[in-house]
């Protein structure tokens, strides 16, 4: 009964805080919403750094809408670990992401640091994320037919050459871990990083002071939308068996649109996992995973519910990683031992 009351309290607090942060204005965001989001929590919430006693290394690849040319492809690598500074417990992490979609591609590199507090028999981590956001556009590959009645091939609103730019990126997050559940809230791209492009157009010219003509310079901008995430999950042992039921949810909002994904997994003997997922108005998912001697591998397949399924065979995702047990005691100062993921 006490456990249920705690869950209700934390859910109410987190949901209230989430709705307070998510105001009703903004733009679309560009982060990948992984089907196996629970396997790469620091990608969505820097507060998840060091939430285990391991050096956790994970990598993932998502191929979306297979069968459609230039469909989104995402590649993510993350590493995090706890550490102590004096008598303070901290967490640190690094996340690298590369994503391509059509003629656009972006790259992010983020460093994370979190401060940990013991609260109500659990641990709360408040974290900051500082990073680089790089955006590219392949303007040289833009093709508009000359006989197109709706678009001008010489439209200077579209870069005619490849352009790229960088911006500083900021994220914040809070993540709470209890022995029976976890929950977190975060704000990614908190500073709305804006990448500015400058491209010389080939379609116009201007007169210089000496009467000569030169190419016009056109400025373009891309803004990564501020995005809020709410994540939560639990491990529920099935009495007198080696099975666990692992429900989880992720909610994402860019302050204009909100979507969510519900996941239910069953794990046997902390080794093998199978589950189903539902992403709102998008897809049904099936997933399989295995955890053996510190190694983890997971696969998921999405069947899309929209008309895009007529052109695509679905989306595939693969996540793999390794957990290394850390022991910072004086006795084992130079000795690390790998054990099975718990």
Bridge-based pairing state of the strands 236-237 and 243-253: antiparallel
pLDDT in tens, 280-289: 999 999 999 9
Neighbouring CB atoms inside 10 A of 334's CB total 5
User: What pLDDT is stored for residue 30 in this prediction?
Assistant: 66
Residue ranges of the domains in the chain? 28-197+216-323
Contact 264, 245 (CB under 8 A): yes
Nearest to 245 by CA among 261, 268, 225, 227: 268
If you average pLDDT over residues 188-203, what whole number do you get? 78
Distances (CA, A) of 117 to 57, 123, 182, 228, 336: 24, 6, 14, 23, 25
Q: Which two tokens stand for residue 81?
A: 């670990």
Does 224 have pLDDT greater than 60? yes
Per-residue pLDDT tens over the stretch 146-173: 666 666 666 666 777 788 889 999 999 9
**pLDDT at res. 266:** 97
Coil, strand, or helix at residue 209?
A: coil
Nearest to 216 by CA among 139, 142, 160: 160
Q: How would DSSP label each residue in 257-321?
A: -EEEEEEEEEEETTTEEEEEEEETTTEEEEEEEEEETTEEEEEEEEEE-SGGGGT---EEEEEEE
pLDDT (tens digit per residue) in 89-116: 999 999 999 999 888 899 999 999 999 9
Q: Is the dihedral of CA 27, 32, 35, 37 positive or negative?
A: negative
Would you list the DSSP string of 123-183? EEEEEEEEEEEEEEEEGGG----TT-SS--TT-TTS-SSEEEEEEEEEEEEEEEE-SSEEE
On average, the pLDDT of the chain sits at: 83
Is residue 340's pLDDT more than 50? no
93: DSSP letter: E
What pLDDT sits at residue 174?
98
Per-residue pLDDT tens for 18-53? 333 333 332 334 688 899 999 999 999 999 999 999
Residue 10's pLDDT is what? Answer: 39
**Mean pLDDT computed over 209-218:** 56
Q: Residue range 234-242: average pLDDT?
A: 94
More confident residue, 329 or 310: 310
For the record, the structure tokens of 282 come out as 């998008």
Residue 298, pLDDT score: 98
For the stretch 56-82, pLDDT in tens is: 999 999 999 999 988 999 999 999 999
Average pLDDT over residues 108-136: 95
Q: CA–CA separation, 39 vs 155, rounded Å?
A: 44
Token readout for 230 is 């709410």
Taking CA atoms, 226 is separated from 37, 126, 280, in Å, by 19, 19, 20
**Half-sphere CA count of 134, side-chain side, radius 13 A:** 14
C-alpha distances in angstroms, 112 versus 43, 47, 48? 10, 8, 10
Q: For domain 28-197+216-323, give its CATH number from 3.30.420.40, 2.40.160.60, 2.120.10.80, 2.30.110.10.
A: 2.40.160.60
pLDDT of residue 59: 97
Q: Check whether 182 has a pLDDT greater than 80.
A: yes
């Amino acid at each position: 009964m006490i456990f249920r009351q705690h869950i209700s309290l934390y859910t109410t607090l987190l949901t209230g805080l989430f709705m307070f942060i998510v105001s009703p204005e903004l733009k679309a965001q560009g982060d990948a919403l992984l089907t196996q989001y629970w396997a790469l929590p620091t990608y969505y919430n820097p507060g998840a750094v060091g939430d285990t006693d391991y050096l956790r290394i994970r990598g993932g690849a998502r191929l979306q809408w297979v069968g459609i040319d230039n469909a989104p492809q995402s590649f993510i690598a993350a590493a995090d670990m706890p550490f102590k500074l004096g008598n303070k417990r901290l967490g640190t992490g690094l996340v690298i992401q590369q994503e391509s979609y059509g003629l656009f591609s972006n790259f992010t590199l983020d460093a994370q640091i979190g401060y940990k507090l013991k609260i109500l028999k659990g641990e709360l981590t408040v974290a900051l994320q500082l990073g680089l956001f790089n955006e590219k556009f392949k303007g040289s590959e833009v093709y508009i037919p000359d006989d197109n009645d709706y678009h001008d091939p010489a439209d200077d609103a579209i870069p005619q050459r490849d352009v790229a730019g960088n911006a500083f990126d900021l994220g914040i997050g809070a993540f709470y871990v209890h022995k029976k559940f976890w929950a977190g809230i975060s704000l990614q791209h908190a500073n709305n990083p804006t990448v500015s492009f400058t491209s010389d157009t080939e379609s116009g010219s201007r007169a210089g002071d000496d009467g000569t003509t030169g190419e016009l310079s056109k400025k373009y901008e891309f803004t990564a939308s501020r995005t809020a995430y709410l994540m939560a999950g639990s491990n529920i042992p099935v009495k007198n068996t080696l099975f666990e039921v692992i429900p989880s949810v992720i909610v994402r909002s860019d302050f204009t649109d909100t979507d969510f994904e519900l996941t239910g997994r069953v794990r046997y003997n902390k080794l093998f996992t199978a589950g189903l997922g539902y992403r709102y108005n998008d897809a049904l998912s099936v997933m399989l995973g295995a955890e053996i001697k510190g190694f983890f591998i997971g696969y998921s397949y999405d069947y899309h519910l929209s008309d895009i399924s007529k052109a695509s065979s679905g989306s595939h995702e693969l996540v793999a990683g390794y957990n290394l047990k850390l022991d910072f005691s004086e006795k084992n100062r130079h000795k690390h031992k790998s054990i099975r993921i718990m």
